[in-house]
Amino acid sequence: MSNVTHLESPTLAVTLSNRGARLVQLLVKRQNLSLLLDTAQVSTDLIDQFCIGGTVGPFAGRLRRIDASNGQSAVSLHGDEAALHRADWLLEHSSQSNVAIYTVSRRHGEGGLPGDRDFSVAYTLSDNSLMIDLTATTTHDTPISLTNHAYFTLGATSVSALSLQMNAQSVLLTDNEQCATGRSMPVAGTALDFARERLLDDALMAFPDGLDHSYVLGSGRRDALAPDRAAALTNRANGISLDIATTQPCLQVYTASQLTAPLRPFTAICLEAQGFPNGPNHALGRSESWLAAGQTTKQRIVYRITEGSLT
């Protein structure tokens, strides 16, 4: 059963659900403006299907693994049957009114991955920012990659009206099963280049089936307490801008092309700060994708909202 929790700051109001440790709504109070896809009339099954607002793991994105029972290769997406966004998380007690902490566990072998794994996500709301801390521990060496899968609208009815800027110079290449190969492609001068702010409509003209690309933000593990600015999403019509900072190495950009009724395709955008997709299987992401037995990993995502002048 889903239970909701509300957090408020002078600027923002947040609604959370224990189902998937989900970010249900993010509201700018002054404009009474919702920044996320409206799912009030959407079934839980459909929300789960598209991971809407959920905490995604144990391994976000596509992961190729070997089935121990038959030795055959299989590709999982966002954890498959052990997916964290489909789980009922436990809301932990917090003495701070601006903090909500959720926890859940997965046992050794669940989802085809090793380790008794404990996960937590802490949402902290402060003035115009929502900070998300994602933590995992394990009893065995295991692949770990966690993210938040919010669908942002910033009050627009189509992603074509939004503009995007990203601090990324390349995207990961994928095979015929959409698994990252470990090779990357520079984006400078292409339709995927968002080094300078551009309307998403420009990119969608070149990619009419939508964007679903993993941008490389940098190499090496960052300081978990000092996230780097990754991207800015802006709605010039209402002056709202979302800045994303993260300790994660990649940002998956997805323009929601596969949403089905009662939702509509291309009405929101996902900016998923995460580890390297299929990272355990390629050199580029291998060192950052494995969590050693007895160790803890912590990643941080910060959503900062600003209200500028209208166009």
- Secondary structure of 65-85 as H, E, C letters: EECCCCCCEEEEECCHHHCHH
Q: Are 234 and 225 in contact (CB under 8 A)?
A: no
What's the pLDDT at 29?
Answer: 96
**3-state DSSP assignment of residue 175:** coil
What is the C-alpha separation between 186 and 235, in angstroms, rounded?
A: 27
Task: Sort strands 142-143 and 55-56 into parallel, antiparallel or unpaired.
Answer: unpaired
pLDDT of residue 81: 82
Dist. CA 86–CA 55, nearest whole Å:
9
For residues 17 and 119, give the distance between their C-alpha atoms in angstroms, rounded to a whole number: 16
Dist. CA 211–CA 214, nearest whole Å? 9
The domains of the chain, with CATH numbers, are 4-307 (2.70.98.10)
Alpha-carbon distance of 188 to 167, in angstroms, equals 12
Torsion-angle region of residue 81: left (phi > 0), alpha (psi -120 to 50) or beta? alpha
Q: In one letter, which amino acid is 176? A: N
Residues 6+ positions from 36 with CB-CB distance below 8 Å:
23, 24, 25, 26, 53, 150, 151, 152, 153, 268
Mean pLDDT by 10 residues, the chain (311 residues): 89 97 97 96 95 97 77 80 95 90 96 95 97 98 97 98 96 93 95 97 96 83 74 97 96 97 97 95 89 97 87 48
Calpha distance 63→65 (Å, rounded): 6
d(C-alpha 165, C-alpha 198), whole Å: 7
Strand partners, 213: 253
pTM of the model: 0.94
- Give the type of residue at 198: R
The DSSP call for residue 60 is: -
Contact 34, 25 (CB under 8 A): yes
Copy the structure tokens of residue 179: 């698994």
CA dist., res. 164 & res. 154, Å (int): 12
pLDDT value at residue 220: 45
- What pLDDT score was predicted for residue 74? 81
- 168, amino acid identity: A
Q: What DSSP assignment string belongs to 275-293?
A: S-TTGGGSHHHHHHHEE-T
